[in-house]
Structure 1
Amino acid sequence: MATTAEEVGILVKRVQHRHHRALTAALADLGVSLVQWDTLRHLHRQPDASLHALAQLTYQTDQSFGTLAARMVDRGLIERMPGSGRAVRHRLTPRGEQLRAAGEERVLAVVTQSFAGLGGDDLDRLAGLLRQVLEQPLSLAGAPAS
């Protein structure tokens, strides 16, 4: 029996959920949540990112990310800097960079362990297939009304 798109979607979600649980546990003793660490990672890659950009990168609304950013500023993990116009930019503090680096080692260990059963060719094939899926436009126009 052929695998359905629905089954594949559920499998992708299960892998994501497994990663989320394992990463949350791996980061816990650093005192940083997964979404906080993800913010630190994105700021490391994109210094001076705006609140809106960070919200999109971390899959949050601007409002929820604003609350998260305020907590991270209070903890000394990030700082806000004035940008052009009304824009506010964000940067890592030395403490935020330290937690990002420590977390990166743990995240790499979890993800490496998770995919350890796949060889290099399998990983390449999986990555290629997922990129192919992501390149396809997704329209909700045909979705049934609720």
Structure 2
Amino acid sequence: MKSGESHGTMTVSLREIGLAVKRLQWRHHREGNARLAEIGLSLPQWDVLRHAAANPEASGHELAVLTFQSDQAFGTMANRMIAKGLLVRVQGHGRAMHYRLTPAGEDARRAGAAILDEVMTGSIGQLSPTEQATLHSLLVKATGRL
């Protein structure tokens, strides 16, 4: 980082900011996956449970988009999660399939949420509430989702 000339602020390149975001994301993924493995889940599987619970009318395609997967990758993962007793497939409108959490899936979702809350507390939780709100606002603004 380089000191800025005006008002004692720091000048940081866009690449440095991007790298810091990526490092934080990598930390969350690495720690989240390691901790979730203790309860038999991966981070992508927990993400499916989270989004399926929050969006019960979402199609498989919509859940794939929400979880940053291709339709094929989502279908493969959903089949594995059905075999593990975490999800059930439900017929939607037309050819659309919806996914619902089983009681075991809901238990896994809740346990995973608690684990990921702990992971986030170790990083973002170190910021003050005002800093957290500012970080959230800036990240949402940067993604163009105002």
Give your verdict on TM over 0.5: yes
Aligned pair partner of 2:116 in 104, 107, 117: 107
Cα displacement (A) at 1:115? 1.6
Q: State whether structure 2 residue 63 is matched by structure 1 residue 54.
A: yes
Contact 1:77 1:96 in 2 (8 A): yes
Alignment of 1:1-146 (within 5 A): 1=2, 2-135=11-144
Distance 1:81 1:95 in 2: 17
Distance 1:106 1:69 in 2: 22
Contact 1:40 1:97 in 2 (8 A): yes
Structure 1, unaligned runs of 5 or more: 137-146
Following TM superposition, the consecutive aligned residue runs of length 4 or more in structure 1 with deviations greater than 4 angstroms are none
Give secondary structure in 1 for the equivalent of 2:12. coil
Letter of the structure 1 residue corresponding to residue 15 of structure 2: E
CA RMSD of superposed structures (Å): 1.4
Cα displacement (A) at 1:85? 1.0
Structure 2, unaligned runs of 5 or more: 3-10
CA deviations 1:12-68 (Å, max 9, x no partner) are: 000000000110111111101110011111111111321101101110000111100
Give secondary structure in 1 for the equivalent of 2:125. coil
Distance 1:44 1:108 in 2: 17
Q: TM-score, normalised by structure 2?
A: 0.89
Contact 1:41 1:100 in 2 (8 A): yes
Letter of the structure 2 residue corresponding to residue 127 of structure 1: H
Distance 1:89 1:42 in 2: 12
